[in-house]
Each structure stands twice: as C-alpha cells, then as structure tokens.
Amino acid sequence: MRFDGKVALVTGGAKGIGRATAEAFSREGASVVIADIDDVAGAMVAAALPRARYVHTDVARITDAERAVRQTVDAFGGLDILFSNAGIQVYGKIEDVTEEHVERAMGINFKGHVWMCKYAVPQMRARGGGAIVCTSSIQALATQTMVPVYAASKAATLALVKGIAMDYALENIRVNAILPASVDTPMLRNAAKAISPDGADELIAQWGRMHPIGRVITMDEVARLVLFLCSDDAAAITGGEYIIDGGLMARLPLVMPD
C-alpha cells in the first residue's frame, strides 16, 4: 500500500499501459483519476476501482488538461502523482506527412505532456511535492522506417521531462520518462492486425523474439516501473530516462556462429 492517501491522475488510462498502471496505483491504495478520450472504456475502468473517477480529456487540448486536474482536486482534495501517458502511433515517411498528421502526433504525444504538467505542478506544490512520469519510447533513441514524426514526438518528450525536472527539483517535484520497447497493448495489437489480419499473435511473438528476453513486455511490467518511479523509494530520482525494453537497446545486430 505504497500509495495510501495519494491521488494519481493517469492519462490514456482507459486502455493499455495507462489502464494497467491506474489499476496498480489503485491496488496500492491511491485514489485514481482516469483521463482519456474513450469514454466507454474509461468509465468502465473507473467503475471497477474504489475511489476512482473518469474525466473525458483530450490531452492535446489545454482546456481539457486544465479540467482534468481541476476535477481531480475537486474529487480527491489534491494531486500527488501524474502519469502522463496518452499517446498515439502515427506512420508515414516525411514526404507523405500532412499538417494534420503532424499536429495530431505532436498535439497528443508532446503538447499533451506540456498541458498536463503545466496544471499538475501547482497542485503538487500545494501538497509539498509530487511525482510525474511521462511515457516516451525507445523510438526517441533509435528508430525504424516510417515513424519519423512519432520518434520526434517521443524525443521531444525526453527533453521536456529533463527541463521540467530541473525547474522543480528543489520543490520536491520529481519528473522522469519511461522508454518502453514493444509492450503488449491494444496499440501494439492494432499495429500487428493492420500488417497481418490473420496472424497478429504470431507477428507479436516474432517481434518478441527480436528482444533479447525473447518476448514483448507486459503492461504490468511497465506499471511496476512507473509505480517505483512514483514511490518514496525513488526519492532521489529525477530527470531520468528509464528504458524498459527486454534488452533491445543493448543488442548489436551481430550474430555469433553457434
């Protein structure tokens, strides 16, 4: 019960990594607000948890971010933890991207963190401190074909996290980034289904074999990292980037003969 009496706001909490993390915070005693655009799934997740609310929030909209924080404070008296996690995957080579494509990707994946942190920080100051974790991706460090704008949005998130961490370190507000590789979530499953409608499971298993641990990462494994970073055990950790990738970034694409 590391988060007994704490209040956590989770964006993108209706599904995937956000949902698993919201549920984990709740299991450890936190009051939880789920901020998402999927009203049906978000309300269902909140309804299944004690001391939980759902707030419709498009993180790309500054007014929605302000409302999510305000409704969290109204419901539970303050805010201690922000898991700023909502994000979308966008594909396309640079010559094919549209203004809408870029606005959407940067609006959700980058500005979403800006707006959520902007309104969370004053509330954390009022509590004497707090913890923020933003979801980046290993795509911020090394990438693949067809995702330049997504990768850039995730790299911008890393720089933002470090900058915010510097501004509030003396106020006991810690800010860290997580950088997952492939995590088995609806996002990953949708990507697999788009490529191979009848073979999504095998494709995900194949992606898993590319990771040194031989499998993709689970949502619960990511949730455990986020909870650690938001716990008192991480009191000296801020401005950090935490890779959770089953060893992928450490691997050189060289194979020794057996």
Ligand X SMILES: NC(=O)c1ccc[n+]([C@@H]2O[C@H](COP(=O)([O-])OP(=O)(O)OC[C@H]3O[C@@H](n4cnc5c(N)ncnc54)[C@H](O)[C@@H]3O)[C@@H](O)[C@H]2O)c1
Residues that bind ligand X (CB under 6 A): 11-12, 14-18, 36-38, 57-60, 85-88, 108, 135, 137, 180, 182-183, 185-188
Rounded Cα distance between 229 and 247, Å, is 20
Cβ proximity to ligand X: between 29 and 208 the closer is 208
Catalytic residue among 54, 91, 119, 150: 150
Cβ proximity to ligand X: between 3 and 83 the closer is 83
Least Å from the CB of residue 62 to ligand X: 12
Least Å from the CB of residue 47 to ligand X: 15
52 backbone dihedrals φ, ψ, rounded to 5°: -140, 150
Least Å from the CB of residue 36 to ligand X: 4
Tokens of 213: 């641990």
- Residue 150 bears catalytic tag: yes
Cβ proximity to ligand X: between 16 and 130 the closer is 16
Least Å from the CB of residue 1 to ligand X: 25
Cβ proximity to ligand X: between 174 and 211 the closer is 211
Residues designated catalytic: 150
